[in-house]
Structure 1
Amino acid sequence: MRILIVEDERRSREFLAKGLQEAGYVVDVADDGEEGLQATRENDFDLIVLDVMLPVRDGWHVLEQLRTRGCETPVLFLTARDSVPDRVRGLELGADDYLVKPFAWTEFLARVRTLLRRSPVRTAEIIKIGDLELDLPRMKARRGRQPIDLTAKEFQLLSLLARRRGEVLSRTTICEQVWDMNFSTDSNAVDVAMGRLRRKVDEPFENKLIHTQRGLGYILEDRAQS
């Protein structure tokens, strides 16, 4: 699942992004309201975490624009503004939840998961490809009846491949989506991580699901059924 964080305070933005990535989500960030709106025009998100006090366009305006153009993506307001009129305004504009800073990380993550379960635009919670099954909310994977022990980062990598099954993903795309960093041609981090993932997901099984497209990247698909 893909989450957009629109937050102008750098430390808060980095903290939220890192925590959500470690929880298995793909995260995009924007540091002002206009950049956040532009991101929603270019990509589909399962949830938007939106601050109220933003440069260029504030959170009220961003939410109003989203709902006016028919965007139904759930929005979680995350802000230091805790007055009742502010909360009412946010909910009336179409926010799905409102969390006041400072907050407990466990509560924030619980609210994120609740909104994603309610979301009408969310992706399937269970993905099946051949005998591989991914339980996205619980971050669990198995092939047939055999559980696969994955780290959080390995699960995030596998879920990215699974959600975009049949599509060749470049090393640059994988690096940006999983590690939130630009890919360096001198780095073999993606290949090393993919090698570890293959040893767990493919090596014990006859039917291989992760394939390399020479010079292009990686693809997850069940070629035994094609």
Structure 2
Amino acid sequence: MKILVIEDERKLARFIKQGLEQHGHVADLTHSGSEGLDYVAGGLYDLVLLDLMLPGQTGFDVLQNLRAFGLNVPVVIISALSDPEKVVQGLDLGAVDYLRKPFDFNELLARIRVLQRRATLSDDVVLRVADLEMRLVSHTVLKNNRTVELTNREFALLELFMRRAGQLVTKNEIAEKVWAADYDMGSNVIEVHIYQLRKKLDAVGIPGLVETIIGRGYRLKVG
């Protein structure tokens, strides 16, 4: 899963991010409510972990604004506020779960697995380009019923390309939507991941699907 952590306690935020990535997730961090909303609006997140006591917009404000803007990403609240009224308020505003601080990290992972199972049991969302099929909920990519094994970053890259099939996708857009705060403008990490993605697509018989538009970005071929 690609997960956004909105937590102003930076040491805790880094701990959560590290733990999530050790268990196969992609995690981005932000430390304020308003910035978190920008990330959700511009990113492709499967889940948001949300603190309530944030500078500027509170977590409750974030929940209200997410729904007002039609952003339906699942949200799990992680908060030191243990008053039952706060729990009820958060759930009524659209959060799918509420975890009280301090928490056991294994419990957080278990709750994430529950959400993954629920999503898998619901109708999958499918993107199709040429012979390629991407199932967003079950997080699988198929070519003629043959599974294409991708890392989480490669999956996020391909999802962006498939959603924008036939359109130019700039390097800046990729950095914002797939890497967010983790991207180092001086690195070649995007080029390396696209190279690896192309190799895997080539291996299942789809050579040249991701085109380089020199000096501008990339495009997924259609037709």
State whether TM-score is above 0.5.
yes
Gaps of 5+ in 2: none
Residue identity opposite 2:116 in structure 1: R
**Once the two structures are superposed, what CA deviation does each residue of 1:76-116 show, in whole Å capped at 9, x if it has no partner?**
21212233222122223443322223142422422553676
Q: Is the 8 A contact 1:82 1:100 kept in 2?
A: yes
Offset of 1:51 from its aligned partner?
0.8
SS at structure 1 position matched to 2:53 = coil
Offset of 1:50 from its aligned partner?
1.8
Quick one: distance in 1 between partners of 2:215 and 2:22?
27
**Once the two structures are superposed, what CA deviation does each residue of 1:168-203 show, in whole Å capped at 9, x if it has no partner?**
22223323433431322xx43322322222121035
Q: Is the 8 A contact 1:50 1:75 kept in 2?
A: yes
Q: Which residue of the partner structure matches residue 170 of structure 1?
A: 170
SS at structure 2 position matched to 1:211 = strand
Quick one: distance in 2 between partners of 1:147 and 1:43?
25
Gaps of 5+ in 1: none
Residue identity opposite 2:159 in structure 1: S
Q: Which residue of the partner structure matches residue 185 of structure 2?
A: 183
Identity of counterpart residues, as a percentage? 33
1:139-218 to 2 correspondence within 5 Å?
139-179=139-179, 180-184=182-186, 187-202=187-202, 205=205, 208-218=208-218
Q: Is the 8 A contact 1:24 1:156 kept in 2?
A: no
Q: Is the 8 A contact 1:6 1:50 kept in 2?
A: yes
Quick one: distance in 1 between partners of 2:177 and 2:15?
17
SS at structure 1 position matched to 2:183 = coil
Q: Is the 8 A contact 2:7 2:31 kept in 1?
A: yes
Q: Against the structure 1 CA distance between its residues 48 and 193, is the aligned structure 2 distance closer, same or farther, given a 3 Å change threshold?
A: closer
Q: Which residue of the partner structure matches residue 110 of structure 2?
A: 107
TM-score, reference length from structure 1: 0.73
SS at structure 1 position matched to 2:116 = helix
Q: Which residue of the partner structure matches residue 62 of structure 2?
A: 62
